[in-house]
Structure 1
Amino acid sequence: MSDEHRRATLGRTGLVVGRLALGTVNLGGRVDGADATALLDHALDRGLNLFDTADIYGWRVHKGHTEQVLGDWFATGGGRRDRVVLATKVGGPMSDDPNDRGLSARHVIAACEASLRRLRTDWIDLYQLHQMDRRVGWDEVWQAMEQLVAQGKVRYVGSSNAAGWDIAAAQETARRRQTLGLASEQCLYNLLVRQPELEVIPAARAYGVGVLVWSPLHGGALAGGLRRTRDGTAVKSAQGRSAEALAAAGDRIEEYERWCDKIGRDPAEAGLAWVLGRPGVTAVVTGPRTPAHVDAALRALDTPLSPAETAQLDEMFPPVGRGGGAPDAWLT
């Protein structure tokens, strides 16, 4: 089988990325040392080239630790840095200093310099705004990003957790400034969270912005989380958004797990396959803790759901309103 289905261009750019991206939130505190090196090497060898991180990751040790883990791995050589499309994020609070957070030009530029030092690299392929900063206008954001691009420190800019109107405002401002604007938007999207279908994904598609998806299994709730919670083997699914989802939507998740047993698919693989098959989705960011998790994610990519299976999931996890983009989703 050709590997073409494993790759895509990022929005309207010419940058080729794997449709599975390696999320690194588990590096530093959950996966460290030789285990981290083995995981990173395995992912790269299996064809994952988009590695996604953030300056705040690694907070279980200290903020910035995950970027340091990646920097140490790049420093081992073997062409690792050149083979990786490196994505990191800016905007989260790095300290109690009010200027050490957000999207001011001062912080964006200083944070980029700090990330480059931790990552031991000269450039970031995709520099993402971790969340919107309503205090800062797009002219200021683009002023900072244009400087970093001109200096060769950043190749492309992406957003994360944006609203559809944020994407429109960003692109219209960039158009006025005669710059490329956003290459990607990274959003929370899965069977339990289908709101991006209303505005975010349509806006991204209209402006030629690639869509990256984080938490495609809702923190483990869609990875057999109910079963694992009951038998005491849950890790991520016993906390955070997953625990909330299991409490609020336990009946649907139980039905989903029974359905996965019936079709002979692991719940995590089925959930990933659903997201990967959605219109407008460029790549899915997975957060594996072991090489086996990487292989399972690749099986989801290689074995898509059938139209009948997708329709059955729509019945279990209905789209918002009538489905599709706004306003048709709620017009009668």
Structure 2
Amino acid sequence: MKYTYMGRSGLKVSRLCLGTMNFGVDTDEQESFRIMDAALDAGINFFDTANIYGWGENAGRTEEIIGRWFSQGGGRRERTVIATKMYGDMSDANDGPNGSSGLSAYKIRRHLEGSLHRLQTDHIELYQMHHVDRNVTWDELWGAFQTAVNQGKIGYVGSSNFAGWDIAVAQGEAKARGLIGLISEQHKYNLLCRLPELEVLPASKSLGLGVIPWSPLDGGLLAGNALRGGAGKRSGDMKRVEKHRSQLEAYKGLCDELGEREDVVSLAWLLANPAVTAPIIGVRTLEQFERSLRAVELELDEAAMKRIDEIFPGPGGDAPRAYAW
């Protein structure tokens, strides 16, 4: 496994991040344990989750599974950089009107305590805002996050699904308070979704955030099964496959020439971007996990990268050049 710093922080993480969204939903607890054990054995120390995973009335289930895995000991907790997120409604009647989706000092305090309890730990390395909430001031948010840092309950703060503008504002407000600010931005980014190259990636790289791409295979559309009728449930119905069929067929041809799987090439392409810290591999099975490891070793040459750009054109260049000249 290879490692890198998370943005400009001193935190080192593996170049692949284990996503846990399927744990307790499509992946049972026993298989989840096997995947997490295999991840540590492979050198992956970076795990991502969220308090709402498990979904609906089962929100929190995924964190509970990770907590029970931590409780087995054997250095599991000590060897893991755990990242979780908060923003959504945890369906806790005690929250009352403060339970609705959004950010606040109230939610940072209560939902952090909930995650710590479910994860069976006293600290979280990376605590992330699952979405931006433009109704809340950064005075409130940075004050609440810094309190949690001072208490030793979180190490760093990250964002998810922020626009480039939101990242810039957040970092400016943090700097004014003498704080590190955000160290990561978790964002949808893949070969079929390259819009973040215009604003989010340049802003993150310039302002000290490591980008953590979610849905790196676009819900399974880039995994190699879509053309055979096996697109992942998050990729939508076959209408999306038909929409991108010519691209997917050309991509399959390139991967066949390279002698590599489509999913592996998709991950390797992300890893080649200097703004990217670690794509999230949201595997459902141990077999899927083991296949993903190849991406860290694969280095795509200039010719392959050019072919990929021809098949999946980007949005037009880095900001501000794409707009101004």
Match of 1:7 in 2: 3
Aligned counterparts of 1:90 and 1:184: Cα–Cα separation in 2: 15
**Maintained 8 Å contact 2:220/2:235:** no
Question: Which aligned pairs between 1:104-143 and structure 2 lie closer than 5 A?
Answer: 104-143=104-143
Displacement, 1:213? 0.9
1:195 equivalent in alignment to 2:195: yes
Partner of 1:273: 268
- Code of the residue aligned with 2:320 in structure 1: it is P
CA contact (8 A) 1:218 1:241 kept: no
1:329 aligned onto 2:322: yes
Amino acid at match of 2:91: S
CA contact (8 A) 1:55 1:67 kept: yes
1:308 — aligned with what? Answer: 303
SS at match of 2:58: coil
Query: Does residue 1:103 correspond to 2:103, yes or no?
Result: yes
Question: Over residues 2-31 of structure 1, what are the superposed CA-to-partner deviations in whole Å (9 max), with x where a residue is unaligned?
Answer: x5xx10011111111001000001101211
Identity of aligned residues (%): 48
SS of aligned partner of 2:116:
helix
Following TM superposition, by how much is the alpha carbon of 1:226 offset from its aligned partner in structure 2, in angstroms? 2.3
Query: 1:243: Cα distance to partner?
Result: 5.2
Question: C-alpha distance in 1, partners of 2:312/2:236?
Answer: 17
Q: Are 1:152 and 2:172 matched, yes or no?
A: no
Deviation track 1:144-165 (CA, whole Å, cap 9, x = no partner) reads: 1011111110000000010111
1:245–1:140 Cα change, 3 Å: farther
CA distance 1:64–1:256, change in 2 (3 Å): same
CA contact (8 A) 1:20 1:283 kept: yes
Contact 2:87 2:130 in 1 (8 A): yes
Q: Summarize deviations over 1:83-121 as a string: whole Å, max 9, x none.
A: 000000010122284411311110111000000000000
Who is 2:227 aligned against? Answer: 227
Q: How does 1:1-332 map to 2 (within 5 A)?
A: 3=1, 6-59=2-55, 62-95=58-91, 97-100=96-99, 101-229=101-229, 234=230, 237-241=232-236, 245-321=240-316, 323=317, 325-332=318-325
| Residue 143 of structure 1, CA deviation | 1.2
1:237 Cα offset (Å): 1.9
* Structure 1 pair 318–151 and aligned structure 2 pair: CA distance change class (3 A): same
**Does structure 1 retain, via aligned residues, the 8 Å contact 2:218–2:235?**
no
Structure 1 residues without counterparts, runs of 5 or longer: none
Specify whether residues 215 and 243 from structure 1 end up closer, same or farther in structure 2 by C-alpha distance, changes over 3 A only.
farther
The structural deviation recorded for 1:222 is 0.4
Q: Distance in 2 between matches of 1:128 and 1:243?
A: 33
Relative distance call for 1:241 and 1:155 in structure 2 (3 A) is farther
Measured in 1, the distance between the counterparts of 2:319 and 2:51 equals 34
**How far apart, CA to CA, are the structure 2 residues paired with 1:257 and 1:56?**
35
Distance 1:60 1:298, change over 3 A: farther
CA shift in 2, pair 1:60/1:106, >3 Å = closer
Letter of the 2:68 counterpart: D
Q: Is the 8 A contact 1:226 1:254 kept in 2?
A: no
Distance 2:281 2:239 in 1: 20
Q: What is the root-mean-square deviation of aligned Cα atoms in Å?
A: 1.6
TM-score scaled by length of structure 2: 0.94
**Structure 1 consecutive aligned stretches of length 4 or more whose deviation exceeds 6 Å:** none
Please give the alpha-carbon distance, in whole angstroms, between the structure 2 residues aligned to 1:317 and 1:34: 38
Consecutive unaligned residues in structure 2, runs of 5 or more? none
